[in-house]
Amino acid sequence: MTTSSHLRAPAFDPTLLALSEEVSEALAHGRPVVALESSVLSGFPYPENLELAREMDAGIRAQGAVPARIALLGGKLRVGLDDALLQEFCAYGKVPKVSTRDIGVTLAGGGPGGTTVSSSLLAAELAGIRVFAVAGIGGVHRDAPASYDISTDLVQFTRTRTAVVCAGAKSMLHPQWTLEWLETAGIPVIGYRCDDFPAYLSVSSGVRNPHRLDDLSDVARATWAHWRSGNGTSVLVTHPIAEDDGIPSQEIADALAEATELAAREGITGPAVTPYLLKAIAEATEGRTAAANRSVLKSTTVLAAEFAVHLAKEEQR
């Protein structure tokens, strides 16, 4: 039986992917590149978001790698923003968050979109980038048994061969359930110099990492061994926020418990839950989350750049 051509899945259209000159040149010469999401920049006012982005990029370059921030602009999946495009994106202020589900609608409309972890990973793999940095991944929500709220980040990890360097899962998520989901999906989680799975704004979630390695060369070897043995998933490399900059996990937990109850009473559901809870945590900690967020964003990107250098060396062996 012959399948009509109009029923076949369309092939990827390379004209939708636009690499910056810096990123394109780095990939062509085998230099380490670190992909970054852009939705996080909407959480800061302009020009604070621009200053933060430039600091993160400078931290990556200082380690010998090239930053590749991903965003949707002008009907293109842009991988790497030069300073003019970065200023343009940051000046928009609040832009829609775009996960893999939303890419088609946003591209077709031509409007700006801030990529989340899932959409950034898709673009990074299409571009050929092996390392992605993010402060906190999405995961399984604490009310998942009732809401079925599980981040698309986890699903994308099963589809993408990318090393994801992070400080654990976002604070409002259930760390144990998130790790259980990752285990079921066969996604390795490696703690770099840490026994416990970090909790984004807190040093520890109280749950152990499945593995611990203390040398980035060993992490790079384990990552390539995972892929070379036929696995097609991401590898998570976790490392916590600096202790002096973190917020005690019990303080976060107390704020979450109260905010979750209030959200339920007010009928807040779906995508509105996460920003509501983050705002509640910020208020309960008297704004200390903003400083902690900046700290973990910068430290994670620097570590990702260091790791990208080791991963590139290991690839050449």
Catalytic annotation, residues = 37, 170
**Alpha-carbon distance values, 19 to 16, 31, 81, 113 (Å):** 10, 15, 8, 16
Residue with tokens 């950034």: 120
Q: From CA 138, how far away is CA 153, in angstroms rounded?
A: 6
Please indicate if the annotation marks 100 as binding a ligand: no
Please indicate if the annotation marks 151 as binding a ligand: yes
Please indicate if the annotation marks 196 as binding a ligand: no
Please indicate if the annotation marks 223 as binding a ligand: no
Q: From CA 305, how far away is CA 21, in angstroms rounded?
A: 19
CB atoms within 10 A of CB 130: 23
Note whether 211 and 190 are within 8 A (CB): yes
Closest CA to 116 of 246, 274, 8, 265: 274
Please indicate if the annotation marks 155 as binding a ligand: no
Please indicate if the annotation marks 195 as binding a ligand: no
Note whether 293 and 43 are within 8 A (CB): yes
Entry field: residues in the chain: 317
**Binding-site residue set for Mn(2+):** 149
> Binding site: which residues?
97, 117, 149, 151-153
